[in-house]
Amino acid sequence: MHSIICFTSDFGTSDTWVGVCHAVIYRACPQVRVVDLAHDIPPYDIRKAAAVAASGVWQLPEALHLVVVDPGVGGNRRNLVLVTGEGSILVGPDNGVLIPATWRSGGVDRAYSIESSHLDFNAPLATFHARDVLAPAAALLACGIDVAAFGEAIDVGSLVPPPFELGHAEGDVTVAEVIDLDRFGSIRIAVAESDVVERGLDKGKVEVVLGHARVEVPFGGTFSDVAEGDPVALIDSSGWLTIAIRMGSAAERYGVEPGIVARVRSLA
């Protein structure tokens, strides 16, 4: 059983969608607690949702994670339950949004489709699988129903690829995408904490090339390790390598958008 469901979506909070999903979950599993991890993901932004969900699993691996950013709702894409190598459970559409979160918890160990007929005798509304399929499945899982009860096991290799890949080494340079900009303008790069340490990027200074911008940045433990207005590299609460400006926006200073390629190397 899981006591917490972490819920991420692009629903916002000005309509009924989040509240109705809460109600469906509580109806099926009254004892579970739903934590709204994020609902202001830009509409259809699978990349941002994947980065946020990965942060959620990194910080709360013991929770069950429900992620609904689903441009293909009602189409032929599958609904999924994924179990990671370290035991985290994720529920969401098969559009790649769940995959980066599994990297933070041992990768995908098992994958199952969610068949609506296993949940209810009524056909789900084509535009609202979150309410009729994904939220009920998350609730039943939280209450202890076995993951194999919802549908067939599926080949992990058949899952839709993620919206971004982890950074890779090219000689002494780590090449990775910018995956997210937080509301303060900090730049999150697809290099996990373990890879930062393994590649020695946490020693002294790093050189970061972001498009046409090249900057030398000290690696710190927190934003206040540098003077106001200065850049710093660190691992922030998301668990990704992050370039930030103390009391400022790195994204604005360097003209960065998600999807550009960053090249990082140690200057130690």
Helix axes 17-28, 135-142, angle to 10 degrees: 30
Whole-number pLDDT of residue 36: 97
The CA distance from 94 to 156, in Å, is 11
How much of the chain exceeds pLDDT 70, in percent?
96
Whole-number pLDDT of residue 127: 64
Q: Where does 4-158 sit in CATH, by number?
A: 3.40.50.10790
Q: Where does 168-266 sit in CATH, by number?
A: 2.40.30.90
Domain borders along the chain are 4-158, 168-266
Residue 134 DSSP symbol: I
Whole-number pLDDT of residue 203: 87
Residues 6 or more apart from 66 whose CB is under 8 A from it?
A: 5, 6, 7, 8, 90, 91, 92, 134, 135, 138
Whole-number pLDDT of residue 125: 64
The CA distance from 250 to 239, in Å, is 18
Residues 65, 97, 123, 117, Cα dihedral to 10°: -60
pTM of the model: 0.92
What residues in the chain have per-residue pLDDT under 70? 1, 118-125, 127
Whole-number pLDDT of residue 211: 86
Containing 141, the helix (H) or strand (E) segment is helix 135-142
Whole-number pLDDT of residue 108: 97
pLDDT digits (tens, 9 = 90+) for 179-214: 999 999 999 999 999 899 999 999 889 999 998 899
